[in-house]
Each structure stands twice: as structure tokens, then as C-alpha cells.
């Protein structure tokens, strides 16, 4: 299957370098018209400028592709509305949105100023919500859309010193878990990519030898697949160093302890409650409710 994006338009946030740049170039190679959004800031989110986005646009145009740059902050309401308006004015539609922009402010929670926690949450969570919110009506009207958010193993599994980043990256999983349901009738598919890549943001977290192994270009195929016509929805696809894996949130079958159950009963039944051998991934929250009511009705 040859995945192409001819006559489609892709918006990538945080595309001035690293993962976003890699995604933007590959979408362009596959025929998409690309909107390269990047504030141009430092890793901690300060000192923004637009040159990074313009440089990627020049690369795309240099290989014969179509692209425009945008320097709006993904946390700025007017800037995000302008990003979507600029896209429609230039290309007339919006098919793919990749929410990739991010910052890091790592410290243990004890040492972390609340301002640093809020800043990371704002960029990664609201900086994902705001572009999606602005793009959603366009995709609904088209009856077509592909949205990819960027999560992380720090959110899925935890990472020392990244409570702010981990909380934000798990939050965007919760976001797509609901949007996959809200977008079904309009053919809007919402997925998450969890990258392992050596970039400016992660260079302090990886050994030097990772630079050659965990390149952004080895994550991008996952994003391209999740943006394709045949993409799944509600999927977390992990990618790095040429390896790919799917993550699921799985719930055990559990046990029914009755309406008089006490904490001691949970302790006594813990082995059974936490037995994941018959675990199942649920597609929506109501399935859990239905399961619990069914278990209660059988007793």
C-alpha cells in the first residue's frame, strides 16, 4: 500500500526542528501541502522567533513541495485561530493535524515551582486542545480528518523528574479517548504517537550513542500511518529506533465483592482483582460501567 497525501493539507505544530521537522518533510514528500508551525522558542518555551519554521518551509520548497510557515504560539487563542485561518486561505482545506509542539521544565515535584508545572501543562495540554478545537469544525464539514497528538512513555509509565510532563502527556491520551468517539460519525480519526527520539528536547536524557539510533526520521513513519486513509482511531502507537509497538490501557476482569464489601475484603481478594491474565482494553468508559452492573446482576 502506497500512502500518499496528494491534494491533502497537513498542519504540524512545533515543526521547526526535531520530530516536527521530520514529519513535515515526509508529508511533503508524500504529496501533502504543509503548514509548518513553530514559535521558534527554546526548550523551556522562551525566546520565540519564526526563523525555524521558515527554514523548514524553504527545505520543502527546495524539494518541489508546497508549504507555508506560521509562528503562532499553540497556547494563544488568537494565534491558533490565525493558524487555521491561514491554512484555509492558502490551501482551502485541512486534512491532517499533528500536535507536536512541546517544552520541558524537568525537576522533582518537591523542587519544581508551580509556574513550571503550569507552563508545561499549558503547552502540552492546552497547546494540543486549542489547535484541535479550531480545526474540528473544518474537519466535520469535510467529513474527513486525521488528528495525531504526541504522548510519551513519561506519561504512560512515568519518568523521574517529569511529573509535569508526564501528567500532560497522559492528559492528551484522555483527550483522544473521547475525541475518537466524538469524531466517528464525521470520519475524524484521533490517535497518539509515543516517540523515542534524540532531539534538542531529549538530548540530555539519552546517551550520546542514541543520536544515531533514535533519529526523528525513525518515528515519522508511525505518524504517517496514523494520518493515512486506513488509520485506526483511539490508538497509542509507540515508535523509536526503527521499532513500533501499540500501547493499550487494560482492565482486569475483577471480582464482585458485594454491596457490603470493606477494605479488608479488597485486601483478601487482591490477587484476583489484580490478575491481568484476562485483562481487556475497553473502547469507551460506558463499557466499564456495563461490566460492573452485569457482575452485580449475576450475584
The per-residue pLDDT for 41 is 62
Work out the pLDDT band at 104, boundaries 50, 70, 90: very high
pTM tops 0.85, yes or no = yes
The per-residue pLDDT for 44 is 46
Domains 9-247 and 250-297 share a fold: no
Q: Find the Cα–Cα–Cα–Cα dihedral 237, 177, 135, 84, rounded to 10°.
A: -50
Q: What are the CA-CA distances from residue 294 to residues 91, 122, 148, 263, 275 (Å)?
A: 51, 40, 35, 22, 19
- The proportion of the chain whose per-residue pLDDT surpasses 90, expressed as a percent, equals 87
Domain locations along the chain? 9-247, 250-297
- Closest among 17, 36, 39, 30 to 63, alpha carbons compared: 30
- Helices 163-182 and 127-142 pack at an angle, to 10 degrees, of 10
The per-residue pLDDT for 40 is 79
Alpha carbon distance 148, 239 (integer Å): 13
What digits encode the pLDDT tens for the residues 66-85? 999 999 999 999 999 999 99
Please write down the HEC assignment for all residues of 142-182: HCCEEEEEECCHHHHCCCCCEHHHHHHHHHHHHHHHHHHHH
Is the CATH number of domain 250-297 3.40.50? no
What digits encode the pLDDT tens for the residues 89-98? 999 999 999 9
* Section 108-132 average pLDDT: 98
> Any alpha helices (H) in 210-257, and if so which ranges?
210-213, 220-226
Task: Please confirm, yes or no, whether 157 is among the known catalytic residues.
Answer: no
Alpha carbon distance 175, 190 (integer Å): 9
DSSP 124: I
Alpha carbon distance 205, 208 (integer Å): 9
Beta bridge partners of 250: 281
Q: Of the listed 144, 165, 198, 225, which one is catalytic?
A: 165
What digits encode the pLDDT tens for the residues 242-280? 999 999 999 999 999 999 999 999 999 999 999 999 999
Fold of the CATH domain 9-247: Rossmann fold (3.40.50)
Amino acid at each position: 500500500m502506497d500512502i500518499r497525501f496528494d491534494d491533502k493539507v497537513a498542519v504540524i505544530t512545533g515543526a521547526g526542528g526535531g520530530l516536527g521537522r521530520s514529519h513535515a518533510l515526509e508529508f511533503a514528500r508524500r504529496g501533502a501541502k504543509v503548514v509548518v508551525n513553530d514559535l521558534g522558542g527554546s526548550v523551556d518555551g522562551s525566546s520565540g522567533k519564526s526563523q525555524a519554521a521558515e527554514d523548514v518551509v524553504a527545505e520543502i520548497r527546495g524539494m518541489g513541495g508546497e508549504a507555508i510557515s506560521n509562528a503562532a504560539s499553540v497556547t494563544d487563542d488568537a494565534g491558533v485561530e490565525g493558524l487555521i485561518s491561514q491554512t484555509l486561505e492558502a490551501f482551502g482545506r485541512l486534512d491532517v493535524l499533528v500536535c507536536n509542539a512541546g517544552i520541558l521544565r524537568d525537576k522533582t515535584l518537591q523542587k519544581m515551582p508551580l509556574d513550571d508545572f503550569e507552563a508545561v501543562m499549558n503547552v502540552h495540554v492546552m497547546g494540543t486542545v486549542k489547535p484541535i478545537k479550531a480545526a474540528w469544525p473544518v474537519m466535520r464539514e469535510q467529513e474527513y480528518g486525521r488528528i495525531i497528538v504526541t504522548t510519551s512513555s513519561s506519561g504512560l509509565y512515568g519518568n523521574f523528574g517529569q511529573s509535569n510532563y508526564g501528567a500532560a502527556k497522559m492528559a492528551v491520551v484522555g483527550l483522544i479517548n473521547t475525541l475518537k468517539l466524538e469524531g466517528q460519525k464525521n470520519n475524524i480519526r484521533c490517535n497518539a504517537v509515543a516517540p523515542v527520539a534524540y532531539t534538542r528536547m531529549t538530548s540530555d536524557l539519552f546517551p550520546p550513542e542514541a543520536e544515531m539510533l533514535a533519529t526523528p526520521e525513525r518515528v515519522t513513519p508511525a505518524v504517517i500511518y496514523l494520518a493515512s486513509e486506513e488509520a485506526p482511531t483511539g490508538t497509542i502507537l509507540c515508535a523509536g529506533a526503527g521499532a513500533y509497538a501499540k500501547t493499550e490501557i487494560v482492565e482486569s476482569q475483577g471480582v464482585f465483592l458485594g454491596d457490603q464489601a470493606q477494605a479488608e475484603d479488597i485486601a483478601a481478594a487482591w490477587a484476583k482483582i489484580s490478575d491481568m491474565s484476562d485483562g481487556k482494553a475497553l473502547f469507551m468508559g460506558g463499557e466499564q460501567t456495563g461490566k460492573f452492573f452485569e457482575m452485580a446482576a449475576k450475584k
